[in-house]
Structure 1
Amino acid sequence: MDFGYLMTAMVTPFTNENALDVNGIRTLIHHLANNGTDTVVIHGTTGEAPTLTLEEKQTLLSVAVEEAANANIKVIAGIGANSTQQAVQMAQLAEQTGADGLMVVVPYYNKPSQEGIYQHIAQVAQSTPLPVLLYNVPGRTGADMSAETALRLAEIDQVFAIKEASGNIDKVTEILRLAPEGFSVYSGDDSLTLPMMAVGAKGVVSVASHIVGREMKQMIDAFASGELQLAASIHHKLFPVMKAMFMAPSPAPVKEALARYRLPGGGVRLPLIGLNEAENMELAAVLEPFLPIASRSVASS
C-alpha cells in the first residue's frame, strides 16, 4: 500500500469546552486532502494522544476513517503506548475500525533497550496485518532507536517505513543505504524534509502541512522531478513557517495558526498551554505572507 509523499500528523480538534469536535475532524480532513495531504496520521504526538481517552480515540478513528475515504486519502492510526499489551490492543482496534496502517512510536518514559524496542514493535506488528510505520522521536520518548534496530525491524513484512525525527541525517543515510527494497524513510521534521530527501527519503510526516500543505507538496514534487533550485527556493520560503510550528510545545503553535485560518483546532489540553502574547505576535508575523486577505482581517481584529 502506498501512503504517498506528504503525510500530515493531524491535530485533534477540540470544541470551546475542550471536548472532541467531531464536525471539526471532518472539516479538517477535507481541508488537508484538498491541500496536498496523501495520508493523515491521527492520535499521534500532534494529535495530543496522551490526553485522549480510549473512547475519544475510538470516535476520532471512526470519524477519520469515514471522512478520509470520502476525501480519497488514507489513515494511519498512532497506537503508541509504553505498554506493549496496550499497544497491541490499540493496533487490533485500529484494524477493526478500518485504519489503513499503524504508526508505532518507540515506547516512552520506560527507556527500553534496543532489544526491548525491537520486541515491543515486533509484537505489535505481528498482532495485525496492517502496514506499520516506525516512529523514532527521542526528544519526546527518552529512547533513541538505532539504525541497526530500525533495519532489523524493516525485515518484518508489515513494516514499510520509518518516521525519523532524531534530526540525525547520518542515521537516515545508514538506514537507506542498508534497508531492504521497498522500505522508506519519512522526515519527522518539516525543516529537514528536503535535506533528507536529498539522501533518499520519500517524504515527510508534516505539521506545517496544516497551513502550507500545497507549498509542501510543490516542494516535494519539484525535488522529485529534478527541479532542485525550485525545491530549494520553496524550502527557503517555508522555513520560517516550519520552525514557527515548534516555537512552543506542539501542537499549540499549529492550533493557533489554524485559528488564524478559521479552521477547526481549538485549544490544547493540559499539561500543554496555549501561546503567550509574545509567541502569538511572532507567529502572526511569520504567517502574514501566507494568510488569505479575509483571514488577515479576522486575525488582527
Structure 2
Amino acid sequence: MKTLGRVLTAMITPFHADGSVDFDGAVALANHLLDNGSDGIVVCGTTGESPTIANEDKLTLFRRIVDVCGDKGSIIANTGSNDTLRSVEFTKQAAATGVDAVMAVVPYYNKPNQKGLYAHFKAIAEATTLPIIVYNVPGRTGGKIIPATIEQLHRDFPNIAAVKEASGDVNVASEIYRRIPTDFMIYSGDDGLTLPILAVGGCGIISVAAHVVGKDLNEMIQAFERGEVTKAREIHARLLPIFDAMFVTTNPIPVKYAVRRLGLPAGPFHLPMCEPSEEEAAVIDAALKMIK
C-alpha cells in the first residue's frame, strides 16, 4: 500500500515567550522528528494549537517546513475547520506552499449530518488535487463521520485518500477497511490503539507520542509488518505508560511539556491551553525517565 508514511507526528507548535510563533524552532523540531522515527509530520493540527494561530502564520510554517524538511518526509497541512468556505479557501492557500497532503477535521460544534459532511468534504476535495486525510475525532468535535460516508467520498473523490480514525473504537476502523480494503490509508488517531488498528487493516499512526518515542513506534509497526507480532506486542506494552502520560490531561499539554523537558523547541502555551498541574507533571516526568 502506498502511504504518506507509517508514523506521522502531529507536531506541536513552538512559541516565543510573547506568544508569537517560533518559526526557527518549528523547523528545528520538524527536522528532529523526521530524523527520529517520523516518516512525516502534520503541521498546525490540534496538537499544534491550530485554533489559536493566525492563518498567515500557519502558511509561513507550511512554507518554511516544506523548504527545509520537505525532502525528509511527508509534510501535511491541517486546513479544515467548521466553515466549509473557509476550509476550501485555506486548503487552496496551503496547497500553494508545496505541502504533500492536507488534513481536514469533521466540522466541530455545528454537528452536521452525513449529507452535510459529504458536501463539506466534497467541496474541499474539489479545491485541490492533493491527498486529503479526513480527521474523525468525535470526542473533540461532537459529531462523527460514518464509514459509509467515507466510502462514498473516496469513491467519488479518490484524492480523499485517508482517515485519521480517533473515535476510540477499533470497530470503526474495521468497517472502513471492510468497505475500502485497498488504496485507502487508515491511520490510528490514538497512540495506544496503533497496534490493534494495524491488525484490522490500518497503515500507521498520526501520533502525539512520536515526539518522544518515534523510533520505537516505527520499530513496532515494522515488526508487525514483518509478521513479528510478538515483538510488536512487546514494544506496544513497553510504550503504554508513555501513551498514558501523553494523555494524562488534555492534549497538547502533556506532550508540549515533555518536549520542553527534553530540551527541544516548545515554548509556552496559547490560552486556553496551560501548564500541567504538579501531579500531571509528575506523571509525565516519570514516563520520560523510562525512555532515557
TM beyond 0.5:
yes
- Number of matched pairs: 290
222-231 or 151-160: bigger deviation: 151-160
Paired residue secondary structure (1:160): strand
Deviations 1:194-246 (A, max 9, x none): 01101110000000000000000000011000111110000001011011111
Residue 285 of structure 2: aligned partner: 284
Q: Secondary structure at the match of 1:130?
A: coil
For 1:82-121, list aligned pairs within 5 A.
82-121=82-121
Query: Which residue of 1 is the match for residue 215 of structure 2?
Result: 214
Q: Gapped runs of 5+ residues in structure 2?
A: none
> Using the alignment, how far apart are the partners of 1:152 and 1:204 within structure 2?
23
Q: Is the 8 A contact 1:44 1:80 kept in 2?
A: no
- RMSD, aligned α-carbons: 1.1
Alignment gaps of 5+ in structure 1? 292-301
Q: Does the residue aligned with 1:97 lie in a helix, a strand or coil?
A: coil
Q: Take 1:153 and 1:247, find their aligned partners in 2: how far apart are those partners?
A: 35
More divergent stretch after superposition (223-232 vs 55-64):
55-64
The alignment partner of 2:217 has SS state of helix
Match of 2:232 in 1: 231
Shift of 1:276: 1.1
Q: Distance in 2 between matches of 1:258 and 1:141?
A: 26
Q: 1:105 is aligned with what amino acid?
A: V
> Conserved in 2, the CA contact under 8 Å of 1:7 and 1:205?
yes
Shift of 1:67: 2.1
Deviation of 1:180 after TM superposition, in Å, equals 5.5
Q: Give the drift of 1:139.
A: 0.4
**Structure 1 residue aligned with 2:69:** 68
Match of 2:6 in 1: 5
Bigger shift: residues 103-112 or 145-154: 145-154
Question: What is residue 298 of structure 1 aligned with on the other side?
Answer: none
The structure 1 segments of at least 4 consecutive aligned residues displaced by more than 6 Å after TM superposition are none
Query: SS at the partner of 1:281?
Result: helix
Report 1:260-299 matches (<5 A). Answer: 260-291=261-292
Identity level (%):
43
Residue 145 of structure 2 aligns to a residue in which SS? coil
Distance 1:15 1:243 in 2: 28
Name the structure 2 match of 1:297.
none
Partner of 2:130: 130
- TM (norm. structure 1) is 0.94
State TM-score, norm by structure 2.
Answer: 0.97
SS at match of 2:235: helix
Give deviations 1:250-300, integer Å, cap 9, x for gaps. 111001101111001112111111101111111111111213xxxxxxxxx
CA positional deviation for 1:2: 3.4
Contact 1:161 1:184 in 2 (8 A): yes
Distance 2:140 2:87 in 1: 18
Q: Is the 8 A contact 1:252 1:267 kept in 2?
A: no
Contact 2:181 2:201 in 1 (8 A): no
Contact 2:5 2:74 in 1 (8 A): no
